[in-house]
Chain A
Amino acid sequence: MKSPFNHEDNIDDIFRRELKDHRVATPKGIWSNINSRLQVRKNPLPGYIAAATVIGAFMLAGWWGVSQNNAKPSKGVIATTNNSIVNKVGLTNTATSSKHTPLQTITATIADKKKQTIALLAGNSTTPVAALTSQIQPSSEAIAMNYSSSDFVNEPTADVETLPTGSQTQFTALLLMAPKPAIALSASQLNDINYNDAILSSPPKEIATLSNKSIRGFYAGANTSITNVWILDRVALHETNFNYSITSGYTYGLQGGYNFSDNFGLEAGLTINARDGQNYTLNINNVTPENKSVVLNYTEIPIIAKFKIPQIASFTGMPLVLNINVGASYGYLRYARTFEDGDRTGSRDQYPNNQLNVLAGFNYDIYTHHPYSFSFGFMAEYGVNTVDNGGSQNSATAAALPLSQYANGSDFNMPHNLTLGLTVAVNYNFSLFH
């Protein structure tokens, strides 16, 4: 006599054998419907391109801002005989040294570093302007401008051709130097740029340079960001009946770091709450679209390497630093919720506890005379591993997820977190400007 267990197996086997490969003639018209829907297939690329374009545009804008700031002498940054900007490129005692060697040194140093620099030099009557001018004329990499004492008050305009040689009691030389091929500016161009106003507007009482405003040292503070988040699903991106909806998120947390030099720093943080997820609509069967959402809340620990491009801000006279950031973060899933038309569905078990993300972005650090600095910028974060528990071929788990309904297996369907956000932060600098 068969046991009930065997009976169960038996009936299962019979149905499986008879029905697994069973065929039923399809009604007419199905193919034409499929054919018409295939012609309106969406292209998933614009989304990626748009994201990359936004990131690239932000970075270019930041880079352009820095280069523009470096291209002009800032008001209030006046060089003297103790010019630290000049010193930074390797020249000392400009005004009192011999008339040939210092300028040769400047030109060579700047050319070697391929760095566009504007140096303001102030001399005295022992260093004739004509000598300075002739020294650098062959390469046309510099133009000297000379002023009498009265020029500082009324008429700053002068050019190389009209310079009286050796007769002034005081003069200022403006040297424009650029990586080869050299940029030779005419006197009229100089006037257009209005460097003279810059020179005359501020007395040469203080020099704010990176050499005496070092940003090295420890800092700590808090940060927050507003983000737009996605769960990128390669399959869903192809779906004609699947539409991503704008999904906003946020983060807040703490950070601390150390600037090893003016050009490199390392930062670690604790993002107390990072809200990720995805809102979307699914319109299967051309019935009423169903609004769905996945809400994921992580606690993250980011570690970020910061490559710094410092300068002196014209509006503060203090360092303004552009940081290019790359790093990684570990995220622990605190909450996971899924909703269908407002009703909560699914369970946390569908999502793994651990996430590994890569980070990239940039931000500006604005220093003040106080030990505080402020930061704002842009950060992108991409989840390396999938947000669901799928990942093995034939995994039914992956198939059960809202964004993974279409097939099994990680090779087919890999939803990832992507976060793009604007960040702000405030830091206390423990050893600022020492």
Chain B
Amino acid sequence: MTLRVQKTYDETELISGCRKQDRHCQEALYKFYAAKMYAVCLRYADNKHYAEDILQEGFVKVFNNISKFRNEGSFEGWIRRIMVNTAIEFIRKTAVYLKEFEIEKVVHYRDDFDVVNKLCADDLMKIIQSLPTGYRTVFNLYAIEGYAHKEISVMLGISEGTSKSQLARARYMLQNKVKEVQKVSYEIAI
């Protein structure tokens, strides 16, 4: 019988070990952040398979470049930026992505969004994943990651106006989808 002792690391030890390419530390770091980063990847990717590819690619970059992390700022934030950038690179490879941006116009809307509060994270995740790639990307970058329209325009190679219109369109579609989810939930309840 083999007794396996699971060593626990704090973040500093993990980073230090990964810089030395210690495979145990790399695996531990992966296990610690994988679930959260996979959720990030799912928000950007069109499907689970793409999300897995982005996650895998992102972590390879993390390990290959961890010596560049200078302990300035959040390590999780650093990993998250790599994941987001990897996802954007992945998305940029899809042909229809840019075209989507150019044909849309700003859509104004107003409605009650309090219903959103009643939805759980899994529901919201499904709603976001159902958005077209372009809308989803802009909404993720602006609303969740906190990038400004100017930054998004550079990241995606689009104008600021396009970024704004995509965001408005994304919100409009989210509203409709939330309504649908609420309606289904209500019907099931009664």
Binding site for B on A (CB under 8 A): 3-4, 7-8, 10-12, 14-16, 18-27, 30-31, 33-35, 37-38, 41, 234-235, 238-241, 282, 284-285, 290, 345-347, 349-350, 389, 393-397, 399-400, 405-408, 411-413
Which B26-75 residues sit within 8 Å CB-CB of chain A? 26-27, 30-31, 34-36, 38-39, 42-43, 48, 50, 52-57, 59-61, 63-65, 68-70, 72-73
Closest to A34 in B: B59
Assuming the contacts A24-B42, A407-B65, asked whether A14 and B117 have C-beta atoms less than 8 A apart, the reply is yes
Most buried by B among A25, A27, A399: A399
Q: Closest 8 interchain pairs by CB?
A: A396-B151, A12-B143, A23-B35, A4-B110, A400-B155, A238-B64, A18-B121, A22-B39
- Nearest CB in chain B: distance from A234 CB, A: 7
Cα A338 to Cα B51 with chains together (Å):
27
Interface assignment of B85: CB less than 8 Å from any CB of chain A: yes
Nearest Cβ distance between residue B160 and chain A, in whole angstroms? 12
A31 to B26, alpha carbons, bound, how many Å? 10
A38 touches B60 (CB 8 A): yes
In which size bucket is the chain B interface? 35 or more
Q: Are B88 and A399 in contact (CB under 8 A)?
A: yes
Q: Which residue of A lies closest to B55 (CB)?
A: A30
Specify which of B50, B64, B124 is in contact with A240 (CB 8 Å cutoff).
B64
Contacts of B88 in A (CB 8 A): 399-400, 405
Main secondary structure of the interface of B (DSSP, over half): helix
Is B96 interfacial (CB 8 A cutoff)?
no
CB distance from A196 to the nearest CB of B (A): 64
Query: In the complex the two chains form, is B151's CB within 8 Å of A15's CB?
Result: no
What residues on B are CB-neighbors of A393 within 8 Å?
72-73
Minimum distance in angstroms from A351 CB to a CB of chain B: 12
A395 closest partner in B (C-beta):
B151
Q: B4 within 8 Å of A by Cβ?
A: no
Cβ of B111 under 8 Å from chain A = yes
Q: How far is the CA of A345 from the CA of B179 in the complex (A)?
A: 38
Interface string of B73-99 (1 = CB under 8 A from A): 100001001101110111001000000
Q: Complex formed: what's the CA distance from A408 to B53 in Å?
A: 21
What's the minimum C-beta distance from A35 to chain B, rounded to whole angstroms? Answer: 7
**Given that A239-B64, A350-B154 are contacting pairs, would A7 and B110 also be in contact in the complex, using a CB cutoff of 8 Å?**
yes
